[in-house]
Amino acid sequence: AHDINILGIESSCDDTAAAVVRGVPGGAATVVSSVVVGQTELHAAFGGVVPEIAARAHVEKLDVSVKQALTDANLELSQIDAIGVTAGPGLIGGVVSGVMLAKGLSAATGLPLYGVNHLAGHALTPRLTDNVAFPYVMLLVSGGHCQFLIVEDASTFRRLGGTIDDAPGEAFDKVARLIGLPQPGGPAIETCAKAGNPRRFALPRPLLDRPGCDLSFSGLKTATLRARDGVIAQQGGLTGTDQSDLAASFQVAVADVLAEKSRRALISYLELNPARPTLCVAGGVAANASIRSALETVCTQLSVQFVAPPLRLCTDNAAMIAYAALAQMPDRDADGFDLSARPRWPL
Ligand code: KG4
Ligand code: ZN
């Protein structure tokens, strides 16, 4: 088997991304180039991602991102061997834009086209970055997703549990807005929490009283809102200290819940398979140092290895999409021009 070059395209949320990954189908690979164009400023005034604005920005940025990824890789399109594109799940306007561009490139060049599940891209990233062996346990924690998976091979994912309402990143973003911090809320809360007292507000740890790996974050957000309103009712407003204490109390609640549910996911995995698994994380929330350290503590206690890919490959990017196409190639056929964009596409 020899190395091939895959062009990856990703546009399912608010990042327009293109990348070139080089490697052996089903084997090791390296990231040759990876371009990510964010849209944070475009959505800032609206307090969330506006699908129509996102789709238009993808249309504007997709072609230039692909061109930049090729330039950075020092390759011509004629030196690419296949195209991997996110075909879902995600905001449909963005996914359609990426799929249309990929089909156009495929039609013009004859290159095989692989529609990739965005979540498979995240879930396979630890193999790209750290060569983690199958099977492993994956915690996906982003603005849009929250689930535990057993990754058995490049095409087989078993879901152990997930959020029954909001994703944790979404909760970070909403709580940031509630306590007067900027977007994206995750990094803002993490910074603000540094000066805070995580024990000042006793916030709930949702679903810890129920067995299993399902999670919930919407009640925690509401409880944070009530704690905020309690302070405002007493003092007429929030001081910087109140903000920090609210941020710290919220953050430690999320970290506790993710750590305890990770412990359960690992234990239920170990009941089926005595070999020590690796716990891998991906998604923007995995950037949070308190959350990472809570997960690391659980892994140390269970003698389990912990792997968190570098942030630029943990958050949305196209290298993971190119890599997922490469990893799945031995198990599947290329897609035809009937490849459709899927807003919902469970793994
Ligand atoms: O994976 P990602 O870049 O995009 C998707 O949602 O797919 O994740 C973005 C989310 C946002 O909700 C952001 O607030 C959150 O990840 N996030 C964080 C941190 N950095 C980003 N949450 C907590 N702590 C952080 N340091
Ligand atoms: Zn994502």
Gap between the Cα atoms of 184 and 10, Å rounded: 20
Assess if residue 135 is contained within a domain. no
The answer, as to whether pTM is greater than 0.80, is yes
Q: Is the CB of 185 under 6 A from ligand 1?
A: yes
Q: Does pLDDT of 42 surpass 90?
A: no
From the alpha carbon of 184, which atom of ligand 1 is closest?
Answer: 14
Q: How far apart are the CA of 83 and the centre of ligand 1, in A? A: 27
Residues 153 and 266 in one domain: yes
- Which two structure tokens, joined as six digits, stand for 318? 């196209």
Q: How many structural domains comprise the chain?
A: 2
- Which two structure tokens, joined as six digits, stand for 319? 């290298």
Q: Which residues are annotated as a binding site for substrate?
A: 140-144, 173, 186, 190, 288
Segment among 27-36, 44-53, 219-228, 338-347 with least mean pLDDT = 44-53
Assess if residue 217 is contained within a domain. yes
Confidence of residue 27 (pLDDT cuts 50, 70, 90): very high
Q: What percent of the chain has pLDDT over 70?
A: 100
Assess if residue 138 is contained within a domain. no
Q: Does pLDDT of 1 surpass 80?
A: no
Confidence of residue 323 (pLDDT cuts 50, 70, 90): very high
Mean pLDDT for the stretch of residues 281-310: 95
Assess if residue 132 is contained within a domain. no
Separation of first and last alpha carbons in the chain: 28
Assess if residue 232 is contained within a domain. yes
Assess if residue 336 is contained within a domain. no
Assess if residue 133 is contained within a domain. no
Average predicted confidence (pLDDT) for the chain: 95
Asked if ipTM goes beyond 0.90, one says yes
Q: Does pLDDT of 47 surpass 80?
A: no
Gap between the Cα atoms of 208 and 11, Å rounded: 35
Gap between the Cα atoms of 320 and 19, Å rounded: 9
Q: Is the CB of 284 under 6 A from ligand 1?
A: yes
Mean pLDDT for the stretch of residues 231-245: 97
- Of 285, 312, 314, best ligand 1 pocket probe by most atoms within 8 Å of the beta carbon: 285
Residues 38 and 106 in one domain: yes
Q: Would you state the pLDDT for residue 170?
A: 94
Gap between the Cα atoms of 312 and 295, Å rounded: 20
Residues 228 and 285 in one domain: yes
Beta strands in the chain (DSSP E): 4-10, 15-23, 29-38, 82-88, 113-117, 136-141, 146-153, 156-162, 278-282, 305-307
Residues 75 and 161 in one domain: no
Gap between the Cα atoms of 309 and 299, Å rounded: 16
Domain that holds residue 33: 4-127+316-331
Long-range CB pairs of 102-110, under 8 A, 24+ apart, other chains included: 102/9, 103/337, 103/339, 105/7, 105/66, 105/77, 106/337, 107/337, 109/77, 109/78, 109/80
Which CATH number does the domain housing residue 81 bear? Answer: 3.30.420.40
Tell the residue nearest (CA) to atom 8 of ligand 1.
Answer: 284
Q: Is the peptide bond before 343 cis (omega within 30 degrees of 0)?
A: no
Mean pLDDT for the stretch of residues 300-309: 96
DSSP H or E run through 53: helix 51-73
Residues 74 and 157 in one domain: no
Residues 153 and 298 in one domain: yes
Mean pLDDT for the stretch of residues 181-190: 94
Confidence of residue 45 (pLDDT cuts 50, 70, 90): confident
Assess if residue 206 is contained within a domain. yes
